[in-house]
Copies of this chain bind each other. A is one copy, B any other.
Amino acid sequence: MLIGKIVGTVVSTHKTESLEGLKLYVVKNIGADGKDASGYVVAADSVGSGVGEVVLYATGSSARQTSVTDNRPVDAIIMGVIDTWDIEGDTIYTKDESAETADE
């Protein structure tokens, strides 16, 4: 899995049937040091996450191991909103508890 920040949304009305109902986010990679890293992915959401949140995402066939992505042509899934992570004893990131999460 990798850490990323949800920075935007992708809208596609003309799509394969099995993608119906999935929320698609643009997720920019974040390094283990908490800084922006190169690369992005468009990931489906399985946890009701929202723009601005720092999340954990998985890629490949593992992205289909959730009830919302089972048997769908999805190769990237957001499966957790990150509360905090640390590196060698230092807290790299802590979620702003005052922020709202978009549960849909």
Query: In the complex, what's the smallest C-beta–C-beta distance from A72 to chain B, in angstroms?
Result: 6
Query: In the complex, what's the smallest C-beta–C-beta distance from A43 to chain B, in angstroms?
Result: 7
Interface residue from B42, B60, B92 paired with A2 (Cβ < 8 Å): B42
Stoichiometry, copies per complex = 5
Instruction: Count contacts on A: residues with CB < 8 A to the other chain.
Output: 58
**What CA separation (Å) do A81 and B10 show in the bound complex?**
10
Query: In the complex, what's the smallest C-beta–C-beta distance from A49 to chain B, in angstroms?
Result: 8
Q: Are A85 and B9 in contact (CB under 8 A)?
A: yes
Task: Scan A62-96; emit 1 where CB is below 8 A from any B CB, else 0.
Answer: 11111001011111110111111111100010000
**What CA separation (Å) do A24 and B81 show in the bound complex?**
13
Task: Scan A35-63; emit 1 where CB is below 8 A from any B CB, else 0.
Answer: 00000111100111100000010111111
